[in-house]
Amino acid sequence: MKLTVWTYEGPPHVGAMRVATAMKGLHYVLHAPQGDTYADLLFTMIERRNHRPPVSYTTFQARDLGADTATLFKASCQDAVDRFDPEAIIVGASCTAELIQDDPAGLAETMGLTIPVIPLELPSYSRKENFGADETFYQIVKALAKPQERTARVTCNILGPTALGFRARDDVEELTGLLSEMGIDVNVVAPLNATPSDIARLPAAHFNVLLSPETGEAAARFLDKNHGQPFTKIVPIGVGATRDFIAEVAEITGVIGRPDESRLRMPWWSRSVDSTYLTGKRVFIFGDGTHVAAHARIARDEMGFEVVGIGCYNREMARPIRALAKEYGVEALITDDYLEVEAAIEKLSPEMILGTQMERHIGKRLGIPCAVISAPVHVQDFPARYSPQVGFEGANVLFDTLIHPLVMGLEEHLLTMFRDDFEFHDDAGPSHHGGKAKAKVEEAAAPQAQPQDDNVIWLSDAEKELKKIPFFVRGKARRNTETFAMEKGLHEISLDTLYEAKAHYAR
Amino acid sequence: MNVPLPPTNGGCRTAPVLKERGQREVFCGLTGIIWLHRKMQDAFFLVVGSRTCAHLLQSAAGVMIFAEPRFGTAILEEQDLAGMADAHVELDREVEKLLSRRPDIRQLFLVGSCPSEVIKIDLARAAERLSQVHAPHVRVLNYSGSGIETTFTEGEDACLASMVPVLKNTKERELLVVGALPDVVEDQMVSLLTDMGIGPIRLLPARRIDDTTAVGENTVFALTQPFLGDTHAELERRGARHLAAPFPFGDEGTTAWLRAIATEFGVSEETFEAVTAAPRARARKAIAQAAEALRGKSVFFFPDSQLEIPLARFLTRECGMTAIEVGSPYIHDALHGPDLDLLPAGPQISEGQDVDKQLERARAARPDLTVCGLGLANPLEAEGLSTKWAIELVFTPVHFYEQAGDLAGLFSRPLRRKAVLQMEAAE
């Protein structure tokens, strides 16, 4: 038993959902109680997906437990096949269903379905979301990939991008373009937007590009071993990594294409004198192993930062991250305990954090700027604009991402110069961010009980009521009420006036 | 007398109910922790569950505002299940660590989950034992917020019901108002009742453990939320008497709710009018402004919070909408009856859910506004239907007169937004 406040990863069946939701023509029948449907909103709200995840939950209740949850599973399974007409289904159990041991795999097998049924064994009490996605994708590939001839042209598959992946949508596009410039076609991208019949075609490619090791490595290894497809080990995030990736692909395929570097602005942006201020900025990097490794290299070699600590939350990546930490001469922090990460950041007090949404909150509390570079994701991590992380455009995007939270060069100098100035001080925040600047004068020194217009007086009960209104709308409520009172020729604001005004402005 | 008149075509109390059983697109009762921990500021909610429970709480809370919130999950691991570790010993250790780190905590709720229920960890026994260890500084109670037993708001019901047996006993004739409300709303309600000369007024849940909420056979209680069936039963078990009334949404609901209490306490008609006239007029005015966008429009409720029936009553009677289907996870006649009486006949009343079938009905009916959970809202919007996320109705102050306009506004905003967005090329 371990007390957990916030988690970096969900349970493994959420990983399976990330694969199922990314794909088309696949349905997931999940033996689960009511309430586990909460996971749908991760996809419909955070990722703004315009369709429900293709998941049928059996929704068993306490009273079913003594009776027949197995029949309930079979009914849901049949219903899903009839209603959604998938090319294949995956079946499995969530944490609670794992305990009642109904064996969804065995049950589905006895049903005589004519489509492939792929059983999932995802141990909910020892593994987590990334494992769930990786294992699910592997099982799907294992079940569906068919031996076949290679395509005439040199082609590859892109493996690993899932629903709720960090910038997966744009990374796939950027990577496809990069490969195309090298003269390599993409055979199948999977799981993102792939159908089960696309999965069957995977072995036609000459090699695999492993875009997301967290969610695609088991499948890549399987295809290497069983279908003779080598896979790339370098994830092309950053300028150097992208160039290394191009060399790796050339090595695997013998194709020496020269991708267009004319759009690559990052190296000059980093060399230009304005960026001098970035030199030696102390950064702490935390996230999933792949993004952390990529960003450590970018931070040190391409931005000129000083890396003061790195770590990852997914234990599967502990070994490479530890090795990397050694190379960087820092301690690796391998933990999924949010409070430990916070303590480490507090101790190291970096000037910037490259982290996840969790570290963004830590940064907010500690007053340290943070750029989000990795899942777990937030609705903000699904920008409307094109915003890849991989390849040359990805490098451009990352330069912007990494400097955006910072106070700009010259501004930083002014802050240092006028350190105790009432306007230029540390709490003022970067000038290009709205709504943060605070006056240095203590707020308590001037309790603004009196309105600007001395003709209108707040009576104490109204003033008290106003304080109960959430702070972020309080100012508006105060202004509206005063305007309303002045319009009505009132000199005092009572509780009633407050609510008269509220009703007046109600929409 | 401003007594709400039942609809001329008969209400919905005796209408046939479509009972469905199938996939449910709802939260489990653990979700209630999100607002209960804000309401009870000296309480900690410790879920004994799985990683899924922790992930649900995090996803439902949406944002992580607090470094160390007053809720957490004791995540069961393989060794707990295999019997290699004694769950009770483990729990005691985690609670000990927690309470020593958080001396501000005065009440601890051990919250059961699906896995803890299935493997039968006896949290009642644990609560009793831990209460003895940590008394008098901390009181430990338990309830189940599991999905196999509770649907969304039923978690609050289970929590409040767990508190009833430990409330102090009183012989006094007191009014107990039950249901977690935002403080600003609660204060308005107390002030309306106080102005009528009604008192003392006790609240469940109280904001802090030391507040003087008690119960006894001379207690009468009013519910502010329509999902408190078990709490209702527990209070009756303590001898308290329920004042049945429509729920205090909108002008009409608020007035009827207040009137049930005023009548019980012998408040004169003049006093009642004097206290309620001004806020009622304001409520009407605010509703009228917000309802402009709603008049003549149809609404379809997916089951979510059990607020659906009172809200359908408000939207049809005060905002001029037509209800097509009113789905509720559960319908309790003792609680929902007065609202069903007032809801004009016509809509399909449904209880429970088979989400795919219900979606088919919604698509066929093409309502102007669909009230549904977050998992369904964007997919339905993508199909061209306007939606209102139901969870916002639970997280926003919507009760009583001064919020009546805001309540109508929550429903009109999606329609107004749809009307203002213009992205076609200019002619």
Q: Tell me what pLDDT residue A412 has.
A: 65
Q: Tell me what pLDDT residue B123 has.
A: 96
For range A265-279, the mean pLDDT? 93
Question: Cβ B114–A40 below 8 Å, yes or no?
Answer: no
pLDDT at residue B222 above 80?
yes
Judged by a CB distance cut-off of 8 A, whether residue B290 touches chain A is yes
Q: What percent of the residues of chain B are helix, what percent strand, and what percent coil, each to the nearest 5? A: 45, 15, 35
Kindly state the percentage of chain B with pLDDT values over 70: 97
Residue range A108-132, pLDDT digits in tens: 999 999 999 999 999 999 999 999 9
**What residues contact residue B191 under an 8 Å CB cut-off, 6+ apart?**
none
CATH of domain B17-24+290-420: 3.40.50.1980
Q: Tell me what pLDDT residue A435 has.
A: 56
**What residues contact residue B125 under an 8 Å CB cut-off, 6+ apart?**
B88
pLDDT at residue B427 above 80?
no
Structure tokens at B342: 């007032």
Domain A266-406, CATH among 3.40.50.1980, 3.20.20.140, 3.30.1950.10, 2.30.250.10: 3.40.50.1980
Residue range A129-145, pLDDT digits in tens: 999 999 999 999 999 99
Helix (H) or strand (E) segment spanning residue B280:
helix B269-291
Question: Cβ A35–B29 below 8 Å, yes or no?
Answer: yes
Give the C-alpha separation, B307 to A183, whole Å.
Answer: 60
Q: Tell me what pLDDT residue A403 has.
A: 93
Q: Give the highest mean pLDDT range of B55-69, B148-162, B200-214.
A: B148-162
Give the C-alpha separation, A42 to B378, whole Å.
Answer: 11
Band (A413; pLDDT cuts 50, 70, 90): low
Q: Tell me what pLDDT residue B247 has.
A: 98
DSSP count for chain A of H helices, then E strands: 21, 15
pLDDT at residue A474 above 80?
no
Q: What is the DSSP letter of A39?
A: G
Structure tokens at B140: 């430990």
- Which of A179, A209, A177, A173 is CA-nearest to residue A193? A173
For range B98-126, the mean pLDDT? 94
Q: Tell me what pLDDT residue A235 has.
A: 98
For domain A457-505, give the fold: Helicase, Ruva Protein; domain 3 (1.10.8)
Residue range B17-53, pLDDT digits in tens: 999 999 999 999 999 999 999 899 999 999 999 999 9
Judged by a CB distance cut-off of 8 A, whether residue A384 touches chain B is no
Question: Which amino acid belongs to residue A88?
Answer: A
Which segment of A64-68, B62-66, B251-255, B348-352 scores lowest on mean pLDDT?
Answer: B62-66
Domain ranges for chain A = 12-133, 145-253, 266-406, 457-505
The CATH architecture one would assign to domain B168-271 is 3-Layer(aba) Sandwich (3.40)
What is the DSSP annotation of B34-49?
Answer: HHHHHHSTTEEEEEEE
Judged by a CB distance cut-off of 8 A, whether residue A59 touches chain B is yes
pLDDT at residue A444 above 60?
no
Q: Tell me what pLDDT residue A262 has.
A: 94
Q: Give B382's contacts in chain A (Cβ within 8 Å).
A: 50-51
CB A198 within 8 A of CB A188: yes
Judged by a CB distance cut-off of 8 A, whether residue A35 touches chain B is yes
A266-406 and A457-505 agree in CATH topology: no
For range A94-116, the mean pLDDT? 93
Give the C-alpha separation, B373 to B62, whole Å.
Answer: 14
Q: How far is CA B22 from CA A249, B88, B113, in A?
A: 50, 35, 21
Average pLDDT over chain A, rounded to an integer:
90
Residues of chain B with CATH 3.40.50.1980: 17-24+290-420, 29-150, 168-271
Average pLDDT over chain B, rounded to an integer:
94
- Please report the residues numbered 69 through 108 in chain B whose beta carbons come closer than 8 angstroms to any beta carbon of chain A: 69, 72-78, 80-81, 85, 87, 90-91, 93-94, 97-98
Judged by a CB distance cut-off of 8 A, whether residue A164 touches chain B is no
Terminal C-alpha separation, chain B: 55
CA B334 to chain centre: 16
Which segment of B55-64, B205-214, B298-307 scores lowest on mean pLDDT?
Answer: B55-64
CATH homologous superfamily, domain B29-150: Nitrogenase molybdenum iron protein domain (3.40.50.1980)
Most B CBs within 10 A among A4, A342, A484, hence the mutation to make, goes to: A4
Query: A274 catalytic, yes or no?
Result: yes
Q: Give the highest mean pLDDT range of A476-485, A492-501, B333-342.
A: B333-342
Question: Cβ A76–B23 below 8 Å, yes or no?
Answer: yes
The pair phi, psi for residue A400, each rounded to 5°, is -60, -45
A79 min Cα distance to partner chain B (Å) = 10
DSSP E strand stretches across B226-360: 241-242, 298-301, 322-328, 348-353
ipTM > 0.85, yes or no: yes
Q: Does domain A12-133 have CATH number 3.40.50.1980?
A: yes
Q: How far is CA B221 from CA B229, B231, B257, in A?
A: 13, 11, 12
CATH homologous superfamily, domain A145-253: Nitrogenase molybdenum iron protein domain (3.40.50.1980)
